[in-house]
Amino acid sequence: MAPVKFQDVRKSFGSTEVLHGITVDIDEGQFVVLVGPSGCGKSTLLRMLAGLENITSGEIVIGDRVVNALPPKERDIAMVFQNYALYPHITVGENMGFSLSLKGVAKSEIEDRVRPAAEILGLSHLLDRYPRQLSGGQRQRVAMGRAIVRDPQVFLFDEPLSNLDAKLRVSMRTEIKNLHQRLATTTVYVTHDQIEAMTMADKIVVMHDGIVEQVGDPLELYDRPANLFVAGFIGSPA
């Protein structure tokens, strides 16, 4: 696990600036949630951390390295998306090990890494099934399994639960938190859902129109919102 730093990070698409100088410090092992309304820049910030989007100015640091110029595969991160496409023609176990096989990791080592990950996620009995034979929640777990087997310094989640029904969404929150407690990997989790943020985060970063409105733990935001935007956003129903 590693600390993460955003230092005065800006992003423009063409002549439009969408992130206006974001500064956030994330401690190693912390579970940080970026929350804010749709379009405020959460995914763009996460994609820059992942190396999937260039940074216009500022600095992003993972561990003790400035990663601005590093390609995604050199950043030691693993990302779980909302649309976690699994490969339909290979098994659950093969899906989980796929990125390792691309890296040329030996088959026996892949199996040694997939097995404990599957156990943590309750997937051990499903390793030989195909994605189409799984429920939505099980597929989501496979997507997390793919991230876990890579044993990254940082986990990134972009709205991983938005495609699940309400009941499953609630139970998956707990599963992701349990996973974090077990692995203690630094996690940056993006959602537009303030209830999800309040129930999952060690630290919440409230974003709005490309700026950070407030950073704090859930209780601080609830008790002492910095301004009307935070008060309204945190206080509104899901």
Report the C-alpha gap between 66 and 159 in whole angstroms. Answer: 26
Task: Return the number of the residue (118 or 190) whose C-beta is nearest Mg ion.
Answer: 190
| Interface with ligand ADP, residue 39, by CB under 6 A | yes
Separation in Å, CA 205 to CA 14, 160, 191: 26, 18, 11
Q: Which of 182, 170, 175, 174 is nearest to 142 (CA)?
A: 175
For ligand ADP, the binding residue among 42, 75, 141, 180 (CB under 6 A) is 42
**Strand pairing partners for 212?**
207
Residues in contact with ligand ADP, shown as a per-residue x/- string from 1 to 20 under the rule CB under 6 A: ------------x----x--
Task: Label the pairing between strands 57-62 and 211-216.
Answer: unpaired
Candidate list 30, 43, 194, 214; residue touching ligand ADP; CB under 6 A: 43
Nearest to 131 by CA among 96, 173, 181, 105: 96
Closest distance to ligand ADP from the beta carbon of 37 (Å): 7
> By CB under 6 A, is residue 150 in contact with ligand ADP?
no
Q: Could you tell me if 204 and 33 are in contact, meaning their C-beta atoms sit under 8 angstroms apart?
A: yes
- Interaction mask 5-44, Mg ion, x per CB under 5 A: --------------------------------------x-
Tokens (6 digits) for 207: 């974003």
Chain residues in the site for ligand ADP (CB under 6 A): 13, 18, 36, 38-44
Chain residues in the site for Mg ion (CB under 5 A): 43
